[in-house]
Amino acid sequence: MRPENRELLAKLGRVVYLRCAPDALLGRMEAKGLPLFLRDDSSLERLTEIWIQRHAIYEAMADVTVDNSSIGLEETVSAVLAALKRPKE
């Protein structure tokens, strides 16, 4: 989220945004362990607030966006690789 980190990412190469709907994210986080920023309030409402704050920045930073809300790991990898093979816009 920090501007200096965004600058660094842009310099390092193509940025991929793995977009995932908040409800799908929460399910995944509950299964694997909640991140620190959700430990005090792990409600869907709280996660949605955070998602809304970050989504526009992530979209703006991304060279490639893949929605993996309803696909698994292998499909996500295939979609990212296919997107990265396309010429940069």
The maximal CA–CA distance of the chain, rounded, in angstroms, is: 43
Structural domain including 59 reads: 3-85
CB 38 within 8 A of CB 29: yes
pTM exceeds 0.85: no
pLDDT tens digits, 24-80: 999 999 899 888 888 889 999 999 999 999 999 999 999 999 999 999 999 999 999
For the chain, how many structural domains are there in total?
1
